[in-house]
């Protein structure tokens, strides 16, 4: 038995350091040693404990068998066990499955049973009778209550289950897999009040609405969550024969520091070990499962259409800040103005202007295969035509507008009203799907009608998009566009954006690349015919940067219709707003003069 002085001294040490308390009094089961061992925390686990003490909100990313749930349970057992009875703790465990929440509670209970009996007072310490008395005043799979008034409760992901319980610690385990996670977390925060702490723990599961969004906003300092990222190769149990490889080159383990490992990852090296390779084999080398369970990858774990490494390559080597932005919300991004002798193609994906989706424009330099301009905003389809006309004329861009579903029909009709040249005409296929689309038939030329029918070629068009990105045949400048790639996944076997996200810019780019591949390159094979076409499509030194209506495109258009063109309203937003062009380099883009 300890003396009163010894108890008070030890109590103070444990209150002062959760790490000391865990490593002094707790044991954990180690699968690699097939038995219970003293709970010695490795560096990242110590970082977790320190973060829990320091920050009110934490988010932990973890690979399989990282021991984060066990470490968190150990920490909570210390906080609950050493709590003052005048200020007891209330821990709420929320998980995607009830059994998982119960398991988490069971871990806390096991650790509490290991704590020295003197922390519960003389009623539970000092003789055989007291030592045998249970410390759990309430003891069930769902809840335990302790002599100091502290409680721990485990619930499934239901808003109603949170009522009547005001936690001081909220833990959401496997948060990325919780149905309606954002809604559940919102209800939990209401219950948490102003002083409690919250932690989200999970392996990634694509770009879900709670875990990934919280992580992404924390990365950009848009919320007050602290991030702790666990990596399997930092775990002493799994990196005993760690090797690093890049292409065909291998190097052995380097001296461990977080910075040294991070620099290897940044330089393109990948880690492997006997444990890692065995785990991959156990997963049948399933790329999605490995990304989720081992590599802690948000992108790969979502079943992405475009592989994470190709997205990151674009981000690292091609994406850059625009040279010029404009609009109340910076809807317009420009990287490069039109160059003499270059050819451009414009893709436009049209929305209603009053919903979740945005209308988008992407302009691609066909000569260099680089993105030069982008628009993303909520605007009515006929008003979008004004923006397309402005930039289409500026770049002399061959223009592809999606009319699938009818939204783009109003845009195309307005462009026709403007007597807009270089407009793409698509094969009618005998299918006019809506009354709006029937209006386009009035402008039919031979077997083609204005606009682009994306539905019939959607899958091969997306396949072509993926190929062009994978082979770096297109240089994407926009971070908005690569962000859409991260949430573009296979849903029921079909490529689509994740719920709560969008793919409007991606579809604009896909249309550009499809027409480039299947129209222009085919035309290039017909040398004589192509020469006249491409010569009229190129940006010339003597043409106006805004409009050159005297030059025909050579492509099918309505320019030979006997009608008087309606005067063209201009998309000319107030130049002084949000102007980020101190040298006046791009001022003429909006002013209408060079």
Predicted pLDDT at 283: 84
Q: Which of 167, 121, 127, 165 is nearest to 146 (CA)?
A: 121
Could you tell me the two tokens for 487? 């949430």
- The 3-class secondary structure across 205-238, one letter per residue, is CCCCCCHHHHHHHHHCCCCCCEEEECCHHHCCCC
199 and 249, same domain (yes or no): no
Could you tell me the two tokens for 212? 């990934």
Q: What is the CATH number of the domain that holds 197?
A: 3.40.50.300
Q: Which of 211, 307, 214, 175 is nearest to 299 (CA)?
A: 307
407 and 497, same domain (yes or no): yes
Rounded CA-CA distance 76/198 in Å is 12
Predicted pLDDT at 559: 34
Could you tell me the two tokens for 335? 């990287």
Is 205 inside any structural domain?
yes
Residue 463 burial (CB < 10 Å; 0-12/13-18/19+)?
Answer: middle
Per-residue pLDDT of the chain (594 residues), as tens digits, is 778 888 889 989 999 999 999 999 999 887 767 778 899 998 889 999 999 999 999 999 988 778 899 999 999 999 999 999 999 999 999 998 889 999 999 999 999 999 999 999 888 888 888 888 999 999 999 999 999 999 999 988 765 556 667 889 999 999 888 887 888 888 777 777 677 899 999 988 777 778 888 988 898 888 999 999 888 888 888 888 888 888 777 777 666 666 777 777 777 788 898 888 888 888 888 777 787 788 877 765 567 788 888 898 999 999 999 999 988 888 999 999 999 999 999 999 998 766 677 899 999 999 999 999 999 999 999 899 999 999 999 999 999 999 887 788 899 999 999 999 889 988 765 455 556 666 776 677 767 888 888 877 888 888 889 889 988 999 999 999 999 998 888 776 678 887 778 899 999 999 999 998 876 655 555 444 445 545 555 565 433 332 232 223 323 333 333 333 333 333 443 332 233 343 443 433 433 333
Q: What is the CATH number of the domain that holds 443?
A: 3.30.420.240
Residue 271 burial (CB < 10 Å; 0-12/13-18/19+)?
Answer: buried
Rounded CA-CA distance 295/230 in Å is 10
Rounded CA-CA distance 55/5 in Å is 32
Helices and strands counted in the chain (H then E)? 21, 23
- The answer to whether the CB of 514 falls within 8 A of the CB of 507 is no
Predicted pLDDT at 493: 65
Is 554 inside any structural domain?
no
DSSP label of 445? B
Could you tell me the two tokens for 119? 């922390």
Is 346 inside any structural domain?
yes
284 and 381, same domain (yes or no): no
Predicted pLDDT at 76: 97
294 and 210, same domain (yes or no): no
Is 119 inside any structural domain?
yes
Q: Which of 506, 545, 470 is nearest to 371 (CA)?
A: 506
20 and 128, same domain (yes or no): yes
Is 308 inside any structural domain?
yes
346 and 377, same domain (yes or no): yes
Pairing of strands 370-377, 332-334: antiparallel
Rounded CA-CA distance 14/79 in Å is 10
- The answer to whether the CB of 59 falls within 8 A of the CB of 226 is yes
151 and 209, same domain (yes or no): yes
173 and 188, same domain (yes or no): yes
Domain tally for the chain? 3
- The answer to whether the CB of 499 falls within 8 A of the CB of 207 is no
User: In sequence order, what are the residues at sequence separation of 6 or more whose Cβ sits closer than 8 angstroms to the Cβ of residue 482?
Assistant: 311, 314, 315, 319, 476
Predicted pLDDT at 131: 85
Predicted pLDDT at 253: 65
Is 227 inside any structural domain?
yes
310 and 326, same domain (yes or no): no
- The answer to whether the CB of 487 falls within 8 A of the CB of 497 is yes
CA dihedral 137, 139, 142, 146 (to 10 degrees): 30
DSSP label of 154? E
SS3 of residue 361 by DSSP: strand
| Sign of the dihedral defined by the CA atoms of residues 218, 221, 225, 226, in that order | positive
| Sign of the dihedral defined by the CA atoms of residues 427, 433, 437, 438, in that order | positive
Predicted pLDDT at 541: 44
| DSSP codes joined into one string, 529-555 | HHHHHHHHHSPPTTS-SS--TTS--SS
HSE-up of residue 393 (Cα within 13 Å, Cβ side): 25
231, 258, 290 — which closes off a domain?
231
- Which strands form 57-61's sheet, in the order they lie side by side? 138-139, 143-145, 151-155, 90-95, 169-173, 197-202, 57-61, 226-229
| Cα radius of gyration rounded to whole Å, the chain | 31
DSSP label of 300? G
Could you tell me the two tokens for 105? 């509670």
User: In sequence order, what are the residues at sequence separation of 6 or more whose Cβ sits closer than 8 angstroms to the Cβ of residue 593?
Assistant: 546
Predicted pLDDT at 320: 95
Is 368 inside any structural domain?
yes
Rounded CA-CA distance 243/260 in Å is 13
Predicted pLDDT at 258: 65
293, 314, 335 — which closes off a domain?
314
137 and 257, same domain (yes or no): no
295 and 332, same domain (yes or no): no
476 and 329, same domain (yes or no): yes
SS3 of residue 69 by DSSP: helix
Rounded CA-CA distance 368/371 in Å is 9
Beta bridge partners of 496: 489
Is 136 inside any structural domain?
yes
Domain range enclosing 140: 4-231
pTM comes to 0.59
């Amino acid at each position: 038995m300890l003396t009163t002085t010894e108890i008070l001294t030890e109590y103070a040490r444990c209150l002062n350091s959760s790490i000391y308390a865990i490593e002094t009094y707790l044991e954990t089961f180690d699968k690699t040693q097939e038995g219970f061992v003293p709970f010695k925390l490795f560096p990242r686990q110590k970082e977790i404990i320190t973060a829990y003490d320091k920050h009110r909100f934490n988010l932990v990313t973890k690979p399989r068998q990282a021991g984060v749930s066990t470490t968190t349970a150990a920490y909570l057992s210390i906080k609950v066990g050493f709590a003052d009875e005048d200020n007891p703790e209330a821990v709420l465990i929320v998980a995607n499955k009830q059994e998982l929440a119960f398991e988490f509670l069971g871990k806390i209970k096991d650790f509490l049973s290991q704590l020295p009996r003197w922390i519960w007072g003389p009623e539970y310490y000092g003789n055989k009778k007291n030592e045998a008395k249970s410390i759990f005043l309430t003891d069930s799979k769902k809840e335990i209550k302790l002599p100091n008034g502290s409680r721990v409760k485990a619930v499934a992901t239901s808003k109603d289950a949170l009522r009547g319980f005001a936690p001081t610690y909220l833990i959401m385990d496997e948060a990325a897999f919780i149905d309606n996670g954002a809604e559940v977390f919102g209800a939990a925060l209401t219950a948490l009040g102003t002083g409690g702490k919250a932690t989200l723990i999970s392996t990634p599961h694509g770009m879900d609405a709670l875990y990934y969004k919280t992580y992404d906003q924390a990365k950009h300092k848009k919320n007050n969550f602290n991030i702790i990222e666990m990596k399997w190769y930092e775990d002493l149990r799994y990196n005993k024969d760690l090797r690093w490889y890049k292409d065909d080159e291998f190097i052995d383990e380097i001296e461990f520091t977080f910075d040294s490992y991070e620099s290897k990852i940044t330089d393109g090296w990948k880690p492997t070990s006997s444990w890692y390779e065995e785990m991959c084999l156990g997963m049948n080398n399933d790329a999605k499962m490995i990304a989720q369970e081992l590599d802690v990858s948000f992108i790969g774990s979502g079943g992405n259409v475009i592989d994470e490494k190709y997205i990151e390559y674009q981000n690292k080597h091609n994406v850059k800040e625009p040279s010029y932005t404009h609009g109340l919300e910076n809807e317009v991004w420009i990287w490069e103005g039109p160059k003499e002798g270059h050819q451009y193609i414009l893709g436009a994906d049209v929305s209603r202007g009053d919903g979740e989706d945005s209308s988008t424009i992407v302009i691609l330099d066909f000569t260099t295969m680089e993105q030069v301009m982008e628009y993303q905003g909520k605007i009515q389809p006929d008003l979008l035509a004004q923006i397309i006309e402005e930039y289409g004329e500026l770049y002399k861009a061959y223009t592809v507008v999606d009319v699938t579903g009818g939204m783009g029909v109003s845009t195309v009709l307005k462009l026709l009203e403007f007597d807009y040249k270089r407009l793409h005409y698509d094969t009618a296929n005998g299918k006019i799907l809506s009354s709006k689309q029937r209006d386009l038939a009035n402008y039919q030329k031979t077997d083609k009608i204005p606009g682009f029918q994306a539905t019939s070629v959607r899958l091969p068009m997306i396949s072509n998009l993926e190929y062009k990105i994978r082979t770096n045949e297109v240089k994407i400048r926009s971070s908005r566009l690569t962000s859409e790639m991260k949430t573009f996944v296979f849903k029921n076997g079909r490529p689509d954006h994740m719920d709560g996200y969008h793919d409007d810019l991606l579809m604009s780019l896909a249309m550009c690349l499809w027409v480039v591949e299947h129209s222009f390159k085919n035309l290039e094979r017909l040398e004589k015919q192509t020469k006249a076409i491409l010569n009229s499509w190129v940006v010339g030194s003597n043409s106006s940067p805004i409009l050159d209506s005297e030059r025909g495109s050579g492509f099918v258009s309505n320019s030979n219709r006997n009608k008087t063109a309606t005067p063209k309203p201009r998309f000319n937003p107030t130049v002084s707003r949000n102007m980020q062009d101190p040298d006046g380099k791009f001022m003429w883009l909006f002013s209408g003069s060079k």
